[in-house]
């Protein structure tokens, strides 16, 4: 399998008075179709890593290849173009637009891409169906449950057919059962070949992934491919 993501000796340093090394010489290769969870305690570098992987920020040192292209030295505009065309984001807080309908939220990225209205509608209805919201397409976020809102966010993240789906604590605002349902949606997507990177601090959530890396002080402390077999994942 060819790598979708390749981090080569990536270091990220923040300078706020003193320098903080949030990521310290990290190497990571993610093959196409992999479902990777990133764990680690608070301050270990998870968000920093996801921000780099999501082209929201650049490494201080080292290289990042996304789909084979070096994206470590692009300008802000180029990074934003990469985000819009190659990446899909799901957040803990859903980040939906409250006055827009489910379909309008899902088709937002296509609107910015300049896709024609009728085509947008077709695609957003199809994605809405796929995440199980076929009967909620005209609802607005305040009329939905948390799990339903996260399904909308997932459909929106998929509308530009991204190379990678990035999720930062996607179950963080959901109860255990709803979180498991969202993990069911991710499992389906991954089964259809979607590459997924997910940050979580919950072992039972990480256990859904094929591979789990744990960060500690900005370094990869462990990298496990049969994580779900391990005792501590069954919290
Ligand atoms: N914008 C920033 N400016 C300065 N320091 C930062 C910045 N963002 C993060 N840091 C520092 O980098 C380190 C890693 O932070 P990061 O947010 O990546 O951790 P995290 O693993 O996501 O933690 P949490 O589980 O609490 O979200 C921390 O020491 C943090 O204080
Ligand atoms: Mg974080």
pLDDT tens string 69-103: 999 999 999 999 999 999 999 999 999 999 999 99
* CB of 151 shorter than 6 A to ligand 1: no
Measured by CA distance, the residue closest to atom 11 of ligand 1 is 22
Q: pTM of this prediction?
A: 0.93
Q: What is the mean pLDDT of residues 119-137?
A: 96
pLDDT tens string 157-175: 999 999 999 999 999 999 9
CATH of domain 33-58+75-234: 3.40.50.300
Does 210 have pLDDT greater than 80?
A: yes
Domain boundary assignment for the chain: 33-58+75-234
**Measured distance CA(201)–CA(110) in Å, rounded:** 32
Return the residue matching tokens 């179950």.
171
Which residues are near ligand 2, the ion (C-beta closer than 5 Å)? 46-47
Please name which ligand lies nearest the alpha carbon of 41: 1
Measured by CA distance, the residue closest to atom 30 of ligand 1 is 43
């Amino acid at each position: 399998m060819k790598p979708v993501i390749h981090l080569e000796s990536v270091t990220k340093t923040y300078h706020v008075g003193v320098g903080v090394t949030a990521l310290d010489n990290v190497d990571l290769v993610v093959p196409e179709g992999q479902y990777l969870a990133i764990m680690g305690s608070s301050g270990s570098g998870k968000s920093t890593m996801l921000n780099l992987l999501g082209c929201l920020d650049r490494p201080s040192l080292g290289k990042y290849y996304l789909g084979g292209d070096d994206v470590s030295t692009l300008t802000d505009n180029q990074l934003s173009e990469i985000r819009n065309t190659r990446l899909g984001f799901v957040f803990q807080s859903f980040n939906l637009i409250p006055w827009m309908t489910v379909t309008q939220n899902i088709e937002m990225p296509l609107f910015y891409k300049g896709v024609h209205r009728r085509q947008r509608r077709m695609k957003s209805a199809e994605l809405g169906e796929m995440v199980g919201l076929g009967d909620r397409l005209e609802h607005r976020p305040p009329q939905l449950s948390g799990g339903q809102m996260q399904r909308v966010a997932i459909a929106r993240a998929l509308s530009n057919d991204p190379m990678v789906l990035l999720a930062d604590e996607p179950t963080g605002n959901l109860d255990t059962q709803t979180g498991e349902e969202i993990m069911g949606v991710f499992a389906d997507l991954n089964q259809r070949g979607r590459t997924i990177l997910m940050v979580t601090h919950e072992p039972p959530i990480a256990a859904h992934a094929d591979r789990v890396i744990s960060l500690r002080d900005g370094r990869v402390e462990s990298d496990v491919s049969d994580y779900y077999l391990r005792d501590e994942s069954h919290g």
